[in-house]
Copies of this chain bind each other. A is one copy, B any other.
Amino acid sequence: MAVGLGPLPTLHPVPGFELGIASAGIKRVGRKDVVVMRCAEGSRVAGVTTTNAFCAAPVLITRERLAGEVRYLLTNTGNANAGTGDDGLANAKRSTEALAQLTQVDAEQILPFSTGVIGEPLPVAKIEAALPAALADLAEDHWAQAAEGIMTTDTLPKGASRQFEHDGVIVTVTGISKGAGMIRPNMATMLGYIATDAKVSRDVLQALVRDAANKSFNRITIDGDTSTNDCCMLIATGQAKLPEITAASGELFGKLKDAVFSVFMEVAQAIVRDGEGATKFVTVIANGGGNAQECLDVAYAVAHSPLIKTALFASDPNWGRILAAVGYAGVPELDVSKIDVFLGEVCIASQGGRAASYTEAQGAEVMAREEITIRIELGRGEFSETIWTTDLSHEYVKINAEYRT
């Protein structure tokens, strides 16, 4: 039921970054569920991780190890290794130790990632057994296979790729993501891996991943549930024959930033397009706020309202529900007489009430589309925020009522 999400685009290999996929049979025999990524020596890795206090064991380990030199990323699906206490930590470490032995690196140089059911013990022996096959599979052109290897309830793999040229050198930025439910990333996403062959200073890389995630993964929501396992990693292998990019790099930094932001946005929006049960891809824009937070409060109130989400599913221009959500978003001293609301290009509410020009037919025409923009003009200031979400369908309930059975 993915909305506007087709087959994977061409995912250009990133020199110095290889991906290998294997099947450990964690949840289902034969399913690709282990992905190993290898970063060439000298690569830098920066990342953001979930703000959920109950973060998973692998997230705790990844956070610590990000400060050092990273050589491998080890991902499993089918089991989140979250809510698993000390055993979970030991299991996550053990899986990286097994990979360290096979690859002759230090376990501290390996970042673990898990996604799947929360609260089950990680079947670490199965993962260990699959590592040789994953290593044998390592190749720079295995992005598409890895995009499939990290899927859980996703119906389609998600990836994006950009290239730009600088001083005659082609620089590549390629990324993949997964996620379809328990999606309201907060300083992170379910899982996202974006790599470039640019050489990037540690500070710039960390700022890039933070800023790009903030405008992409941190602006999507499917069900308002912030996961315990969100992680988004940005890898720079430095294999492109160009000077190191620092905060002072001017044009080259600008080109890289554009490419990174563009890939982040595409793979983040792909998660929404593949949202559980999604039949609509919905952009919510809050303009004219007095600060960024109140714009976000309004946009998320609209995006999380089950009443608005079911109306979107039904293609019902029930704009009163939008007004109600704006009204309870908690914006202090909100003057409703200054608020306009647009559905697509149609003004549905003006000065806090039904727009004089509005007809139900206009609203119905917009609501019938697969991609819908709801824009709220708050009339309080100059701030603006945009987020992306889905509708709430029968299928969402079905998927999540039956997830473990």
Instruction: Report which A residues bind B (CB closer than 8 A).
Output: 51-55, 80, 82-88, 117-119, 181-182, 184, 186, 223-228, 304-307, 310-311, 313-314, 316, 318-321, 323-328, 331, 334, 336, 349, 351-354, 392-394, 396-398, 400-405
A55-B327, A119-B323, A224-B305 are known; give 19 further A-B pairs, CB within 8 A: A54-B324, A82-B323, A83-B354, A85-B354, A88-B353, A119-B354, A182-B321, A224-B304, A225-B306, A226-B324, A228-B323, A306-B306, A311-B403, A313-B401, A314-B400, A316-B401, A392-B397, A394-B394, A394-B397
Determine chain A's interface SS by DSSP, over half rule.
loop
* Residues in B whose Cβ lies below 8 Å from that of A182: 307, 321, 324
B52 touches A223 (CB 8 A): no
13 pairs of residues in contact across A and B, judged by CB atoms under 8 Å: A53-B326, A82-B324, A83-B324, A83-B349, A84-B353, A86-B353, A119-B319, A182-B324, A224-B306, A228-B320, A307-B400, A314-B401, A318-B404
A402 touches B314 (CB 8 A): yes
Q: Of B86, B316, B394, which contacts A398 at CB under 8 A?
A: B394
B52 touches A327 (CB 8 A): yes
A394 to B352, CA, bound (A): 33
* Residues in B whose Cβ lies below 8 Å from that of A398: 394
A400 to B224, CA, bound (A): 19
Max chain B Cβ within 10 angstroms of own Cβ: one of A80, A351, A401: A401
* Residues in B whose Cβ lies below 8 Å from that of A349: 83, 119
A324 to B117, CA, bound (A): 11
| Least CB distance, A362 to chain B, in whole angstroms | 14
A244 to B57, CA, bound (A): 62
Q: Of B85, B225, B397, which contacts A305 at CB under 8 A?
A: B225
A85 to B336, CA, bound (A): 10
B354 touches A223 (CB 8 A): no
